[in-house]
Amino acid sequence: MTRVPGRPRSEKSQEAILTAAFDLLVGRGYAGFSIEAVAAAAGAGKTTIYRWWPTKAALAVDAFFQMTDTDLRFPDTGSAEGDFRAQIEALAGLLSGRSGRALAEMLGGARTDAALGAALGERWLQPRRAWGRERMAQALQAGEVRAGTDPDAALGILYGPLYAPLLFGGTVPDLAAVRAHLDIACRGIFARREARTGQQDS
């Protein structure tokens, strides 16, 4: 019988390290997070961890991104407005739990920790901004966004209520408040179906 090879040892080791890092991050917060604790929890050597992640900040942010990435991709609801609403509500739900408190702590720490700020920008903020810009560009091309709308301004309006509490108050966003804001913001950003139909018929 031919043996089916499993995943490479390095891949399994990285997954174990990232899982342990995420669990420690949401359990203890960034202040209680350390390479030593992750190494012990994952059964890995510190040298191995430092080979892949040069700093505590890089490991913490990478673990946070990897463990939340799948749940926060844009869904396909059939409309741009529906996609943004669903994705933003999923993000709000994530941030309202222990994960949100961990992210709030990291965002606050990034003001004085350059390595943490750089890691957050590269692994958390930039990828999410790229996803949002791509989906907004598709919506503009399809006529689902009001003519003349600035894409970056629209994204700021949509996502601002999620990050403002984390940045300025260190608190997690309230889902009901996020939904109320979306009701107002979406009316100003997205073209109503009736209006789009009228433009196409004229």
Indicate if the pLDDT at residue 8 is higher than 70: no
CA 158 – CA 162 distance, rounded (Å): 8
> How many CB atoms are located within 10 Å of the residue 39 CB?
19
Q: Decide if 111 is inside a domain.
A: yes
CB neighbour list of residue 69: distance below 8 Å, 6 or more residues apart: none
Same domain membership, residue 155 and residue 116 = yes
pLDDT band at residue 201 under the 50/70/90 scheme: very low
Note down the domain range covering 174.
70-189
Pinpoint the alpha helices (H) of 96-150: 98-109, 114-120, 126-141
Segment 98-156, tens digit of pLDDT: 888 888 889 889 989 999 999 999 988 898 899 999 999 999 999 999 999 999 999 99
Segment 163-187, tens digit of pLDDT: 887 777 767 778 888 999 999 999 9
Same domain membership, residue 165 and residue 82 = yes
Same domain membership, residue 53 and residue 30 = yes
Q: Indicate the residue among 59, 82, 99 that finishes a domain.
A: 59
Same domain membership, residue 37 and residue 109 = no
Number of domains composing the chain: 2
Segment 9-67, tens digit of pLDDT: 588 999 999 999 999 999 999 999 999 999 999 999 999 999 999 999 999 999 999 88
Same domain membership, residue 180 and residue 116 = yes
What is the rounded average pLDDT of the residues 83-106? 89
> How many CB atoms are located within 10 Å of the residue 107 CB?
20
Domain of 17, CATH number, reads 1.10.10.60
Same domain membership, residue 163 and residue 102 = yes
pTM of the full structure: 0.80
Same domain membership, residue 42 and residue 82 = no
